Amino acid sequence: MSEIGVWEAVILGIVEGVTEFLPVSSTGHLKIAEGLMGIPVDSRSVIAFTAVIQVGAIAAVLVYFFSDIVRLVSAWFRGLLNREERGRDYQFAWWVIYATIPLVAVGFLLKSLITGPLSSLWVVAASLIIGSGLMWSAERAATLKRGEGDIGLRDALIVGSSQILALLFPGFSRSGATMSTGLFLGLDRVAATRLSFFLSIPGLTGAGIYELKDAIGGTIGLLPLIVGTVVSFVVAYASVAWLLRFVSKHSFHGFAVYRVVVGVALYGLLAFGVLQA
What are the sequence ranges of the domains in the chain? 6-271
Of how many residues is the chain composed? 277
* pLDDT score at 215: 63
CB 30 within 8 A of CB 8: no
Cβ atoms of residues 130 and 262 within 8 Å: no
Query: Which sign, positive or negative, has the C-alpha torsion 48, 54, 55, 56?
Result: positive
- Distances in whole angstroms, Cα of residue 47 to Cα of each of 130, 232, 251: 23, 16, 32
d(CA 117, CA 38): 20
Please name the amino acid found at residue 112: S
Contact 175, 160 (CB under 8 A): no
Q: Which of 40, 14, 252, 29 is nearest to 142 (CA)?
A: 252
DSSP string covering the chain, please?
--SS-HHHHHHHHHHHHHHTTTTT-HHHHHHHHHHHTT--TT-HHHHHHHHHHHHHHHHHHHHHTHHHHHHHHHHHHHHHH-GGG--HHHHHHHHHHHHHHHHHHHHHHTHHHHTTGGGSHHHHHHHHHHHHHHHHHHHHH----B-GGG--HHHHHHHHHTHHHHHHSTTS-HHHHHHHHHHHTTB-HHHHHHHHHHHHHHHHHHHHHHHHHHHHHTTS-HHHHHHHHHHHHHHHHHHHHHHHHHHTT--SHHHHHHHHHHHHHHHHHHHTTSS--
**What does the pLDDT profile of the chain (277 residues) look like in tens digits?**
567 888 999 999 999 999 988 999 888 888 888 888 888 777 777 877 888 888 888 899 899 999 999 999 999 999 999 888 889 999 999 999 999 999 989 988 888 888 778 878 899 999 999 999 999 999 999 999 999 999 999 999 999 999 999 889 988 889 999 999 999 999 999 999 999 989 988 887 777 777 666 666 666 778 888 999 999 999 999 999 999 999 999 999 999 999 999 999 999 989 988 887 7
Cα–Cα distance measured from residue 277 to residue 267, given in angstroms and rounded to the nearest whole number: 10
How far is residue 83's CA from residue 56's CA, in Å, rounded to a whole number?
Answer: 35
CA distance 85 to 199: 23
> Residue 22: what pLDDT?
92
Quote the pLDDT of residue 222: 83
pLDDT of residue 164: 92
Count CA atoms within 13 Å of residue 249 on its CB side: 3
Nearest to 24, CA basis, from 276, 252, 275: 252
